[in-house]
Amino acid sequence: MSANLIVTAADGVVTVKMNRPDVLNALDGEMLRALVDTLQPFDRDPECGCIVLTGSEKAFAAGADIREMNEKSYLDAYHSDFLAGWEAFARLRTPKIAAVSGYALGGGCELAMMCDIIYAGRSAIFGQPEIRLGVIPGMGGSQRLTRLIGRAKAMDMILTGRQMDAQEAEHSGLVARLFDDAALLFETQKAARIIASYGKAATLAARETVNRAEETSLTEGLLFERRAFHALFATQDQKEGMTAFLEKRPARFVGK
């Protein structure tokens, strides 16, 4: 396990805290490998129902590691398909919640947007400041930010490099819920435990169908949703969930 990550697991929730305080959790190749290598086995584990990704009070992550990038040539970046590896994190199928305090800039904002939900502390600051470094977002910012908050605000942020505070981020649809900083991790883990308590097949299907909405036409998306809905009738958890409702008792999902 990498020294850059602090990992804990309980009640079906794995919590990963990025831990490079000297550089405000700047994202380098080692952090990417550590995150993916740590999380892929949890992703395959049916007992793991939700992932929480967090940083420090000062920074979720202040972006891709500028020291690592500084000397790269175009061919270094092109041949290694620099930053493409981060999509392995986005592709994890288990729901991921980013709990953001402090700076989520550049790659930090993009990493938060690779998560399915962003919860933020009131100190959170989002931004895509790459233009100030002579580049543009490279981990999905131009695409995911535009889909999440719309063209007007995404273009404003990416062209000016300005920061967006937590309140604006919530109003803009980037952040699902705002909490006091001191309560952020507790509240995020509480929501994660709720997500982890449901049948995993339904959870995976719910995530896939919502994500499909960004990629497809309404007609195709509705068909995809209906087929996924139909498929869940093959699970024990559907029988349990509906029977429990009718018997007026809590459901006991078994992930089958």
Binding positions for ligand CAA, rule: CB under 6 A = 23-24, 26, 62-67, 83, 103, 105-107, 110, 129-130, 133, 137-139, 141
Q: Indicate if 64 belongs to the active site.
A: yes
Residue from 21, 12, 22, 16 nearest 1 by CA: 16
Using the minimum distance from each CB to ligand CAA, give the nearer residue, 27 or 206: 27
Shortest separation between residue 184's beta carbon and ligand CAA, angstroms: 19
Tell me whether residue 67 or residue 230 sits nearer to ligand CAA (CB atom): 67
Question: Shortest gap between Cβ of 175 and ligand CAA (angstroms)?
Answer: 18
Catalytic (active site) residue 208: no
Q: At what angle do helices 236-246 and 200-212 cross, to 10 degrees?
A: 100
Candidates 12, 130, 191, 206; catalytic one: 130
- Residue among 33 and 212 whose Cβ is closer to ligand CAA: 33
Of 110, 121, 199, 201, which is the active-site residue?
Answer: 110
Q: How far is the CB of 65 from ligand CAA (least distance, A)?
A: 5
- Smaller CB distance to ligand CAA: residue 63 or 95? 63
Helices 200-212, 218-231: crossing angle, 10 deg rounding: 170
Q: Is 192 a catalytic residue?
A: no
Burial bucket for residue 197 (CB in 10 Å: 0-12, 13-18, 19+): middle
Minimum distance from residue 4 beta carbon to ligand CAA (Å) = 13
Pairing of the two strands 5-10 and 13-18: antiparallel
Per annotation, catalytic residue among 107, 127, 140, 141? 107
Q: What minimum distance in Å lies between the beta carbon of 36 and ligand CAA?
A: 16
Q: Which of 59, 62, 64, 202 is catalytic?
A: 64
Of the two residues 32 and 195, which places its CB atom closer to ligand CAA in the complex? 32
Counting beta carbons within 10 angstroms of the beta carbon of residue 124, is it exposed (0 to 12), middle (13 to 18) or buried (19 or more)? buried
Catalytic residue check, 47? no
Which residues are catalytically annotated? 64, 107, 110, 130
